[in-house]
Amino acid sequence: ALAPSKQQETMELRAMISLLLLLLLGLSMAHPDISCFGLTLSWYLFSFIPLGSTDFLIEGDVLIPRTRSAMRCFSKTFSCLWSKSANGKVEIPFIINSKYDTHEKNEILNAMKDFHSKTCIRFVPRVKQRMYISFEPRYGCFSSLGRLGDKQVVSLQRFGCVRHGIIQHELLHALGFYHEHTRSDRDQYVRINWEYVKQYYVHNFQKKDSNNLNTPYDYSSVMHYGRTAFASQFGKETITPIPDPSVPIGQRQGMSDIDIRRINTLYKCCK
Ligand SMILES: [Zn+2]
């Protein structure tokens, strides 16, 4: 028998990926298990995005600054949130860069499944929508905050960022969520050890004028930094939980229950 040509192989691979993608999306839509526990546990949204704000890589010690135009967020006609379709779902188109291998693509699709099964967010393969997320293997893991209004990159560097919790972390940024340890009320829950924060990264620890709306501070949020993030000396703590310093922080397994509830409240998934 003739060996299949390279082109045929590629086409088959593509077909397989498309099929898998459809399957995954289909499966996840079949399980509407939205966790809405009323309004007592609600969300926080940054009431503004500072001018010249950057977005951050959080894993390891690499920071990827990315200038983002904040002005569009102040516009009355433009929202930083993704909009809801008539079917009540918030559809967010995406494309996945072809540099990722099948395993990595599946990891990305899998990370999106939790959003599908637990919230009204639906990541849908892009057809020709103007606003969409492009997963690309750039240098580091980073994302813009909220919806930009055009193509926006979620960078997941290969061999480091293509992991369940990190992917969800970056997608939460794209949905409009900031880092947990920068909440306006964080000083009641964590102590920032400024003396050990690398000078260049000080801005990563600055408090935000967040609207917390009685949301509990969540040490287990996938949006919380780890305790030695951006330390000037190896192993020194930049963030210490208070009053109990032994509380675990900085998990990157996946979204916490509160992370999920915040999405549902912010995007009014239960209405
Ligand atoms: Zn982040």
CATH of the domain at 231: 3.40.390.10
Gap from CA of 5 to ligand 1 centroid (Å): 43
Residue 251 lies in a domain: yes
Residue 14 lies in a domain: no
pLDDT at 174 over 80: yes
Predicted confidence at residue 170, as pLDDT, reads 93
Is 220 in the same domain as 242? yes
Gap from CA of 242 to ligand 1 centroid (Å): 22
Is 157 in the same domain as 246? no
Annotated catalytic residue, options 59, 104, 107, 170: 170
Is 61 in the same domain as 163? yes
Gap from CA of 56 to ligand 1 centroid (Å): 5
Predicted confidence at residue 67, as pLDDT, reads 39
Average pLDDT over residues 231-241: 95
Is 247 in the same domain as 199? yes
Is 81 in the same domain as 172? yes
Please give the structure tokens belonging to residue 214: 């009685």
Domain that holds residue 226: 181-255
Predicted confidence at residue 45, as pLDDT, reads 31
> Among the three residues 130, 163, 179, which one is the final residue of a domain in this structure?
179
Predicted confidence at residue 96, as pLDDT, reads 98
**Residue 104 a catalytic site member:** no
- d(CA 29, CA 7) in angstroms, rounded, equals 33
Gap from CA of 209 to ligand 1 centroid (Å): 17
Residue 23 lies in a domain: no
Residue given tokens 């135009």 in the structure block: 69
Is 148 in the same domain as 190? no
Predicted confidence at residue 54, as pLDDT, reads 36
Is 105 in the same domain as 174? yes
Is 163 in the same domain as 188? no
> Among the three residues 146, 179, 212, which one is the final residue of a domain in this structure?
179
pLDDT at 7 over 80: no
Greater confidence (37 vs 110) lies with: 110
Average pLDDT over residues 176-200: 92
pLDDT at 258 over 80: yes
Residue 211 lies in a domain: yes
Residue 16 lies in a domain: no
**Least confident span in 5-14, 51-60, 67-76, 173-182:** 51-60
How much is the pTM?
Answer: 0.75
- For the chain, list the strands marked E by DSSP: 45-46, 90-96, 121-125, 132-136, 141-142, 151-156, 190-192, 210-211, 239-241
Q: What percent of the chain has pLDDT over 90?
A: 52
Residue 169 is labelled as binding a ligand = yes
Is 189 in the same domain as 233? yes
| Residues listed for the chain | 271
pLDDT tens-digit readout, 195-231: 999 998 888 898 877 766 567 999 999 999 999 998 9
Average pLDDT over residues 13-34: 43
| Residue 137 DSSP one-character state | -
Residue 170 lies in a domain: yes
Residue 110 lies in a domain: yes
Residue 179 is labelled as binding a ligand = yes
Greater confidence (47 vs 268) lies with: 268
> Among the three residues 179, 210, 230, which one is the final residue of a domain in this structure?
179
Is 137 in the same domain as 205? no
Residue 20 lies in a domain: no
Pairing of strands 210-211, 45-46: antiparallel
Q: How many helices (H) and strands (E) does the chain have?
A: 5, 9
Amino acid at 214: N
Predicted confidence at residue 209, as pLDDT, reads 74
Gap from CA of 180 to ligand 1 centroid (Å): 9
Is 136 in the same domain as 245? no
- Residues 176/46, Cβ–Cβ less than 8 Å: yes
**DSSP secondary structure string, 67-128?**
----HHHH-TT--SSPPBPTTS-EEEEEEE-TTS-HHHHHHHHHHHHHHHHHSSEEEEE-SS
Mean of pLDDT over the chain: 77
Gap from CA of 10 to ligand 1 centroid (Å): 35
Q: How many domains does the chain have?
A: 2
Helix, strand, or coil (residue 257): helix
Is 170 in the same domain as 88? yes
Predicted confidence at residue 6, as pLDDT, reads 57
pLDDT tens-digit readout, 51-77: 233 344 443 323 333 433 333 455 555
pLDDT tier at 38, thresholds 50, 70, 90: very low
